[in-house]
Every structure is written in C-alpha cells, then in structure tokens.
Chains A and B, each alone.
Chain A
C-alpha cells in the first residue's frame, strides 16, 4: 500500500508576514519632511540672498549628501530640518523686521494653518489607505483560510477513501490468511502421520487428529508440556525419562532424532511407533520442535508374519529334504541291502543335490535374517588363529581331495577380539570354500591374519581361476556367480559373498578383494580390535557354505 508522505502545509494565517519590515520612512513622514524641507529651503534661498553667507552652500551640500544616503537619512533629517528651520526663522526674522508684529503673527498663523491642514489631509488619506489595505488583507486572508479549509477537507476526503480502501484490503488480507490457515490446518489434520509441535519451552502448540487418536489425547493437551501429556516406553518396556524424550532431545541438541517407542493404550493394547523429532529453526535459532509420529504396529506385525513364514517355510522345506538326505544316506550305507556301483553312484548324486538344496535353504534363511536385522550378535573373546585352525580341520577332507596346500600365518601377539565366533566362522568358511572350489588341483590357499592400527585384517588368497575384470563389480551382489565359475562348478548359490559382506559389515568391519583371471584371488576383511557390541535379535545363522 502506498504510504503518503506528510508534507507540512504552510499555514496562510500565520505565514502572512507583516509588510512593515523595510527601513524606509513612511510616505506620510516623507511628506512632512518634504514640507519642512520646502519651507526651510525657501528660508535658505531668501536668507542666502539677504545675508550672502557662504556657510549655507556647505549646509546645502551636506543636506543633499545626507538625503541621498538612505540609512543616515532618518536620524540626520531631524537635525538638518531643525537647523534649516532655525536658520530659516533666523533669516525670516531678518526679512520680517520691517513688518509689524500683527503681520508677522498672521504670517506665522497662516503658515501654521497651511502646514496643519496639509498634515491633517495627509493623515486622513493615509488612514483611509491603511484601512482599505487592512480590509483587502483581511479578505485576502479569509480567502486563504477558506482555500486552506477546502484543501484540508479534500485531503480528509482523500484520506477517508484511502482508509476505506486500506480497511478493505486489510479485511481481504485477513480473509486470505484465514483461508490459508484453514488450508494449512486441514493439511496438517489430514496428514496420515501423527504430528505435534511444541514451543521452545516444550509446551504443545499444535497437534493433529492422527496424533490425538494414536496417543489418546484430547484438545486440552495444548499448552501443556509434551512429556506430561502421555507416558512413553522404550522397546524394552522402560519408561522414557523426560530428558530422553525425542522432542526434548531435538530442542536441546538442535538436531533431528528418530527412534521407536511403545505406547500402551487405555485398553492395554501396545502400539509401536516411530517418532522423528526435528527442531524448528528461525534464523538459525531453535524456536520449537516438531514431532512426526508413525504407527509401525502393522509393519511390526508384517515383519513378525514374515519371520513366521520363513520359519514355517524353512521347516516345510527342510522336512522333505531331511527325509531325502537320510534315506539316500541309508541306501548308500547298504541299510536296504548292498547297491551295485551304478546304483551307489546314482544315490550319491541324489545325496549331493540334496545337500545343495539344503545349503540353498540355509542361505536364503540367513539372508532373510541378516536383511531383517534380526540377527543375534553375541560376541565373545575369540582368538582368530584358533578359529581358522578349527575351520581348516573341518575342510581338511576337501583340501585333500584337490591336493591343495593350506597355509595359515598369524602375527604374534594378536589380541583376542570380541566377535561372534559363529558369524565370523561363516566368513572364513565361505572364503575358504570358494578358494577350494575355484582353484585347480594342487593349488595353494593362504590365510594371513595381521594387525593394522585398530583393526585385525584377515587375508584369504588362492592362486586359482580368478574373477573376470568386467564382472568384479558384481561380486558382492545377491545371486551373482562369475561366468567362469559357473562353467567350472555348477554347485553354488551366488549368495555366499553377499551374506559374508553383510556379516562383516554387521560386525563393524569391511571386506574387499583383488583378482586377476588365471592368477588368483585375494580377499581381505577387517574387524575392529575394539570388538563388536552385542545385539539382541531373534535368530542365528544356519551353517551354509555356498
């Protein structure tokens, strides 16, 4: 809106300056002076001729000088006039000597009357002029005042119009803001997630219907401290203390926090929900916090169902597999009578395929467990050298079958590290099984365990077939098997490296490799000397070697 700048309007009533500030003698005064000068000059002229005094010439010149000087005129005029009058009279006296006193008196009287009447008329005229001038001035002023008032009235009218327009604008703006607010409120209220906001003091300033419904809150929660509004439990079932409330953490740390909590409804039903608390910032200053509440009870339920499904599926798949496994074993063992070599060979093939099938089921189960994050990590102080030795003993038969040499070298004074030996066994087992599988007969397989700074590095290398360069990026991908590997060994699920990468990473380590086709492959994986923190979960891994 345009803001009118206030310009001070000159007030004609006060700004009319008096016209008397010039130093000039008034016209009336001038007339008197002129008359006196006239009378005196006459006296001078006469006495000049009579007396013949040269001094008057000087007086005359001085007179002209003073009269021509405006500033000196006022004060000097009186003096000069007085002198002239005196000299005039003096000269007149000399002239009038021959006349009688009556004649002289009449002369002065007539001179006085003449001068007096002249002054009177002059005064009257001036007065009239003054009155007239005053009247004109008054009328002029009146007109100015009138004009001023009219102007003011006009201005007021304009202001009124502007104000009306402004009021209309303000009302429209208010309407618009109200609509905006209603829209924003509607959006917040219709959001599928629960939402609440607090001020810097932690008092609730906004809560949407989903949050109210989810947390069984009423409107009166507004203005109350958020952590007094309801009781929050952590996943272990402990009451969350005030300072650990996500909103309070967000307010204190000015950072985002995301956590899962449990709320117990009045009907006793437990609901799991996730709260993401974010500070509200204005010019980098935290002015409050906003919490988004997401009900994850259903997600948890689906997760539980998935677990159950996996458990059931694994049971269902494993039952027939165990039957095939055992009967094949019994056939080969001759429990149903001796087999001829061909029958025995067939039975062995059934046995091998069954083992692969079991391996696949175990790998799938393990992957689903790792991916769901429900894997149990129970660390215990472990000597990696001993762990690898025992794995190598297990694999002895396989090494011997391919006449491969196994070398284990561990640096002296390696500390025991806190890891889950069952999980890490899977890592060594997978890497070593791969090395055996993808190395020719008579190959050399080496494990070197060393310490580098705060990590224990395990190196597993072979001089086998290697991984083709163009396929190396996919090595840790699920179900990936290199082309040369597929050609050489049909056995394998493509899940082993994917799984061990997940295990190593869940143990806070890293895994990487180097490979050259035809020369061999080296895998390295690191584990922190500090070890792994235990993690509660629901499942452990099944043994699988794929």
Chain B
C-alpha cells in the first residue's frame, strides 16, 4: 500500500484529504506543521507528499528545501496543494522539483486523488 504524507494545518482539509485518499486505498500519514511534516517524512519515507505552503513553525517551501537536501528526500514526489496563487511561490516550488502546484479551490478533491494516483503510477513505472 502506497503511503501518502499530508502536511496541512487546516483540520477540515486534512480530514477531507485523508478520508478521500484512504477511500482510494492509500495509507495516510498526517502532519499539521512543517517541522513535524519534515521529521515524519524523514522517518517514514512516504511514497508521496501533499504539501501546503502556509504552515506553522516551518513553512512549506522551507520544509521542501530541507527535504531536498536529503538523499532520499531529493527524489520523493511532492505535490504542493495551496491557496496561494503567487507566481513567485509557484516558480520557487518548481525550482525545488515539485511535481505539481495545485490551487485547492480550483481543484475538485476527486481530481486531487487522480493526480496522486497518476504521479505514483508514473513513479512506479
């Protein structure tokens, strides 16, 4: 079973994503701040990370920086899932080898699940 780590500080969203992804057959790990998210990722080595940008303690892009310094973290697929439609943030994420930059309100949760599946299948292949 593929493990997906969701780093999201908004509990309702965390709940919705966890529920939808577990229904879709993924094993879910949760973190509500950047620091916990980073340590969970390092410990559990999930197959994919869904990452928010605005996070307490450590923001998503800083966490991503730290993650990409790690040998394992360098290649782990990350999908940024945020509500910040800021070009600078988008470009920065892309430089940090992010698979996708999704604006939450523009995406149906179903489509997010499809995106995750797509990414993991691609990764498997």
Contacts and interface: CB of A to CB of B under 8 A. Distances in A.
B75 interface: no
Contacts of B69: none
Contacts of B86: 311, 538-539
Interface string B43-85: 0000000000010000000000000000000000000001111
A365 B83 CA distance: 12
A323 B17 CA distance: 10
Contacts of B83: 314-315, 318-319, 322
B23 interface: yes
A361 B83 CA distance: 11
Interface stretch (A43-51, A145-153, A175-183, A324-332): A324-332
B72 to A, nearest CB: 30
Contact of B13 (A323, A335, A538, A540): A323
Interface residues of B, number: 24
A333 interface: yes
Interface stretch (B25-33, B101-109, B116-124): B101-109
B87 A330 contact: no
B125 interface: no
A325 B85 contact: no
Contacts of A542: 85, 103, 106
A538 B109 CA distance: 28
A395 interface: no
Interface residues of A, number: 27
Interface of B: 10, 12-13, 16-17, 19-20, 23, 54, 82-88, 90, 103-106, 108-110
Given A315-B54, A322-B104, A333-B110, A327 B85 contact: no
A538 B10 CA distance: 26
Contacts of B82: 315
Looking at chain B's contact residues, is the secondary structure mostly helix, strand, loop, or mixed? Answer: helix
Contacts of B85: 314, 365, 539-540, 542
Given A318-B105, A319-B13, A322-B13, A376 B87 contact: yes
A517 B16 CA distance: 46
A322 B105 contact: yes
B87 A540 contact: yes
A311 B89 CA distance: 11
A534 B54 CA distance: 30
Nearest to B109: A326
A543 interface: yes
A329 B104 contact: no
A511 interface: no
A538 B105 contact: no
Contacts of B104: 318-319, 322, 325
Q: Which of A319, A365, A540 has the most CB of B within 10 A?
A: A319
A181 B103 CA distance: 63
